[in-house]
Amino acid sequence: MCTLALYLRQFENYPLVIAANRDEHFSRATAAPQIWPKIPKIVAGKDLVAGGTWLGVNARGIAAGIVNRRLQLDAGTTPRSRGLLCLDMLEAASLADAQAALPYEDAGRYQAFLLLAASADGAFAAYNATDIECRPLAPGLHVFGNTSFTGEDGKKLDRAREIFAAAGDALAPSLVQPGGLDAAVDILRGVLGDHTPIETGDAKGALCVHTPDADYGTVSSSIIFLSTIDRKFYFYHAPGPPCRTDFQSAASLEIS
pLDDT value of residue 198: 64
Answer yes or no: is pLDDT of 200 > 70: no
Among residues of the chain, what percentage have pLDDT more than 90? Answer: 71
Give per-residue pLDDT as tens, 5-49. Answer: 999 999 999 999 999 999 999 999 999 999 998 889 999 999 999
DSSP 195: -
Count other Cβ atoms within 10 Å, centred on residue 187. Answer: 18
Residue 182 sits at φ, ψ, to 5 deg, of: -65, -45
Closest CA to 197 of 206, 210, 188: 206
196 or 137: which leads in pLDDT = 137
Region of poorest pLDDT, from 50-59, 134-143, 153-162: 153-162
Report the chain's mean pLDDT, rounded to a whole number: 90
d(CA 134, CA 99): 8
In the chain, where the domains are located? 3-254
pLDDT value of residue 204: 76
- CB contact set of 5 (below 8 Å; sequence gap of 6+): 18, 19, 20, 141, 142, 143, 144, 160, 164, 191
Give per-residue pLDDT as tens, 149-181. Answer: 554 455 668 888 999 999 999 999 999 888 789
Count other Cβ atoms within 10 Å, centred on residue 182. Answer: 12
pLDDT value of residue 231: 96
Cα radius of gyration (the chain): 17
Q: What is the CATH number of domain 3-254?
A: 3.60.60.10
Q: What is the DSSP string of 4-34?
A: EEEEEEEETTEEEEEEEEEEEETTS-EEEEE
